[in-house]
Amino acid sequence: MVAYNPLPRPEAFMAIAALFAKRSKDPVTQVGAVLVDKDEYVAATGYNGFPAKLSDDHFSWLKTGEHRHDKKYPYVKHAELNVLANVTRTYDGGTLYVTVMPCHDCAREIVQLQQKIRCVKFISVYENGKDSNVTANDMFNSAGIPITTLEARVKNVSVDFDLLDVESREIAPRVSLTGKRLDYLPWEETFMGAAMIMAQCSKNPVYQQGAVLVGPKNKTLGFGYNGIPKRISAKLKAENKTFDWSNAKLREEYEIKGANNCMLNSSRVPNSTLYTTHFPDIAATHKLLETDVKKVIFGHAPDKNSSDIIAAKRMMDHAEIKYQQFRAATNKIDIDLATRDVTFPGLRFKSE
């Protein structure tokens, strides 16, 4: 029994892709991507931008210029290629969620991969890229990779930082001489926002916790939300049974909290940071002590008088794991998952 409607995972992955698109400095086009493996664990995230070793303030972000090398086109790397560069786990047989249909350049690299992407899902197309889209579609069909629009059951996803009841913070004024988009989303809001989206996937009608583990250079290492162990969930599904989420005793006995699930689902990388909607409980703190996490950014303020919270803080202090509460630079982010008009001559999608 589930007392409310949790966010389906495909919608959550596309919403996270759309959230990462807001990181792009491109003033005209912002694209985000999420790559998940066959078990629906996130393998990587990305957005369109300059390659990692190039400064966002050195080359032009503009479409205009006397020569091609004066424009943005030689320098901007598409979200699909960035997500492949950011992979932290195997993804063979997985799915690529991207906010805009891949162009022919990205399609060519995707079909060449040693680890095969099972399918590609998107919600819009480039307005001026019809020829490229047709070519990309032909490549995917020829390679046997289905490419489809995400027909979202949930059309709108909100990230409301006010629900965390945290203090606000101000961002230093941004200046650009290269045409860079200045209202891009800060990293902190991107990661905590992704944790809040994952929390919406939880089937727990009383308590939803989400978490994201982030490594050096802001690479995402893993995602998680509170739920029962995946093998138990799969067994119940195979037997056409459901978990009784209304039973508080069962929830307490079976449930793994989001922060702990996140770390169990993540690659182990030194000096990583855990973003979590709630302060880690004892089990998650024990897991923290076994990993290379050096910092915890949490949302909801914990109960200062709780013995478990006091014990968790003591353990983190002893292990020199820093922890601090998230402070929001914006109040709310609304994400539209409705499929845009993607029909035009020559574009024929192959269903899964």
Burial class (CB in 10 A: 0-12, 13-18, 19+), 29: buried
The string of pLDDT tens digits covering residues 296-311 is: 999 999 998 999 999 9
Residue-wise pLDDT for 327-350, tens only, equals: 999 999 999 999 876 655 555 554
User: What is the rounded distance in angstroms from the CA atom of residue 49 to the CA atom of residue 72?
Assistant: 10
DSSP string, 327-342: -BSSSEEEEE-PPP--
Cβ atoms of 26 and 49 within 8 Å: the answer is: yes
The rounded distance, in Å, linking the Cα atoms of 177 and 184 is 16
pLDDT at 10 over 60: yes
Residue 129 CA to its chain's centroid (Å): 26
Active site residue 80: yes
**156-160/147-149 β-pairing:** unpaired
- Read out DSSP for 149-181? E---SS-EEEEEGGGGT--B--PPPP--SS---
Give 336's contacts (C-beta < 8 A, 6+ positions apart). Answer: 18, 155, 156
Contact (CB, 8 A) for 66 and 10: no
Does the structure show a pLDDT above 80 at 3? no
Extract the tokens encoding 123: 């919600």
Query: Which residue reads 């491109």 in tokens?
Result: 26
Alpha-carbon span 47 to 322, nearest angstrom? 29
Q: Which of 9-23, 132-146, 237-251 has the largest mean confidence? A: 9-23
- What does the pLDDT read at residue 340? 74
Q: Check whether 130 has a pLDDT greater than 90.
A: no
Q: How far apart are CA 196 and CA 6, in angstroms?
A: 12
**Cα–Cα distance for residue pair 154/200, rounded to 1 Å:** 12
Alpha helices in the chain (DSSP H): 9-21, 79-85, 104-112, 130-143, 187-199, 230-238, 248-254, 258-264, 282-290, 307-318
Catalytic residue among 80, 127, 151, 255: 80
SS3 189: helix
pLDDT tens digits for 56-97? 999 999 988 888 998 899 999 999 999 999 998 899 999 999
Tokens of 334: 């609304």
